[in-house]
Structure 1
Amino acid sequence: MIVHHFCIQTNDYEKSLTFYQELLGFKLVNETKNFHERQYNTWLQHDDLYIELQTGKQTQQLASFNKETEGLAHICFYVEDLQQLQQKLEKQGAHFLKKQNKAIYYVEGGALFKIKAPEGTIIEFRDSLII
């Protein structure tokens, strides 16, 4: 079994779309307006991974992300050069979730850093595949 995609909902479509395209390098594959009562339902791709980015239904204001709720807490990507990516994202204005005032910190098996997307999704980057 492999992961095909994950779905992210946002109240600020343009801000989230820009974040995933410009900061993380996802390519726009398909953008559908007025999709099942949603302003947008969009597919983004990076290598073999897809994000389905969608707005809430027409009159729906989505609740803010809260890491204290059940369900998906974060998304993690493996990268070979963690420091290079961290420096690139920092120059582009990414919002880092620091630990002890450090962007990159160490957890069993390797180094990592986390950023927060405009809609609140926490995205982790690791330099090790070991868990």
Structure 2
Amino acid sequence: MKIHHVAVTVNDLKESVDFYTQILGFEIARQFAREDMGAYAAFVKLEDFKIELWQFQDTKEDANSLGDIKVIGIRHIAFEVENLEETIQELSKKGLKFTKPKLGASGHHYSFSSDPNGVALEFYEK
């Protein structure tokens, strides 16, 4: 078994696709519309990892249902990087803001930033 993708509901699909492709280096794998759901979506990929981005006409800020795809966000998406300090410097030049790096319980350093929707992005040094 392996992870296929993570789905994130967003406020603005174009802005989100631009962020993941232009800032983080993902490629657009597929874009499509679901008129029956009042939605537009895109898969962006980085190597074998995919993020499915959804924009609905009627998104929600919160929900009681765990499986409600119309709720904005996700807890966080973690990216493994070779050198945390270099990654922070490179992405800061592209406008990202980062938390102060911390040492995790695993003995690895990490820092957080966010995408245009406020989805937390963890950068984890392997």
TM-score between both structures, scaled by the size of structure 2: 0.81
Whether 1:55 aligns to 2:55 is yes
Alignment of 1:45-84 (within 5 A): 45-56=45-56, 58=57, 60-63=58-61, 72-84=74-86
TM-score between both structures, scaled by the size of structure 1: 0.78
> Which stretches in structure 1 are left out of the alignment for 5+ residues?
65-70
1:36 to 1:44, Cα distance in 2 relative to 1, 3 A: farther
CA RMSD of aligned residues (A): 1.9
Whether 1:112 aligns to 2:110 is yes
Q: Deviations over 1:65-108 (max 9, x none)?
A: xxxxxx95212121111111111110000132x2xxx2x22222
SS of equivalent residue, structure 1 residue 95: coil
Runs ≥4 residues deviating over 6 A: none
Instruction: Give the percent of matched residue pairs that are identical in Structure 1 and Structure 2.
Output: 30
Counterpart code for 2:89: Q
Aligned residues: 115
Whether 1:94 aligns to 2:68 is no
Q: CA deviation at 1:54?
A: 0.8
> Which stretches in structure 2 are left out of the alignment for 5+ residues?
63-72
